[in-house]
Amino acid sequence: MDVSLTPVAVVGAGALGCFFGGMLARAGAPVTLIGRAAHVAAIRRAGLVIESGAGKQAIALAATEDMAAARGAALVLFCVKSTDTDAAARALAPHLSDAAIVLSLQNGVDNVERIHARIDNQVLPALVYAAAEMAAPGHVRHTGGGNLVIGQLRAFARPGRSDRPLLAAIAALFAGAGVPVRISEEVEVELWTKLTLNCAYNAISALGGARYGEMVALAEIRAVMTDAVREVAAVAAAKGVRLPDNIVDAALKLADGMPVTMSSTAQDIRRGRRTEIDHLNGYVVRQGDALGIAVPVNRTLNALIKLLERRTTAS
Query: Has residue 101 got a pLDDT over 90?
Result: yes
Q: How confident is the model at residue 315 (pLDDT cuts 50, 70, 90)?
A: very low
Residues 6+ apart with CB under 8 A from 224: 204, 297
Name the active-site residue from 194, 239, 253, 306.
194
What does pTM read for this prediction?
0.89
Find, among 99, 59, 54, 94, the residue nearest to 75 by Cα. Answer: 99
- Nearest to residue 124, comparing CAs of 105, 97, 108, 96? 105
Which of 59, 86, 62 has its CA nearest to residue 73? 62
- The pLDDT of residue 239: 95
Q: The domain 3-183: what is its CATH number? A: 3.40.50.720
* Residue 178: pLDDT over 60: yes
Please give the Cα distance from 301 to 303 (Å, whole number): 6
Residue 205 has pLDDT above 70, yes or no: yes
* Residue 209 reports pLDDT greater than 90: yes
Q: Is the pLDDT of residue 176 over 90?
A: yes
Q: DSSP 3-state helix, strand, coil percentages of the chain (rounded to 5)?
A: 50, 20, 30
Backbone conformation region of residue 33, classed left if phi is above 0, alpha if psi is from -120 to 50, else beta: beta
Helix axes 296-312, 281-291, angle to 10 degrees: 140
Query: What pLDDT score does 207 carry?
Result: 97
pLDDT surpasses 90 at 146? no
pLDDT higher than 80, residue 217: yes
For the question of residue 194 being annotated catalytic, the response is yes
pLDDT range class, residue 144, cuts 50, 70, 90: confident
Give the pLDDT band (50/70/90) at residue 119.
Answer: very high
At 314, is the pLDDT very low, low, confident or very high (cuts 50, 70, 90)?
Answer: low
Region 248-267: what's the mean pLDDT? 93
Q: What is the mean pLDDT of residues 246-259?
A: 94
CATH number for the domain formed by residue range(s) 187-312: 1.10.1040.10
Give per-residue pLDDT as tens, 48-94. 999 988 899 999 999 999 999 999 999 999 999 999 999 999 999 99
Cα 243 to Cα 248: distance, rounded to the nearest angstrom: 10
* Banded pLDDT at 305 (limits 50, 70, 90): very high
The answer on pLDDT for 248 being more than 90 is: yes
Phi-psi region of 152 (alpha: psi -120 to 50; beta: other; left: phi over 0): beta
Residue 1 in this model has a pLDDT that exceeds 70: no
Strand partners, 78: 11, 104
**In the chain, which segments carry CATH 3.40.50.720?**
3-183
pLDDT band at residue 131 under the 50/70/90 scheme: confident
Q: Are 73 and 121 in contact (CB under 8 A)?
A: no
Mean pLDDT of 250-270: 93
CATH 1.10.1040.10 domain position(s) in the chain: 187-312
| Size (the chain), residues | 315
Question: Mean pLDDT over all residues of the chain?
Answer: 94
CB atoms within 10 A of CB 252: 19
The answer to whether the CB of 50 falls within 8 A of the CB of 85 is no
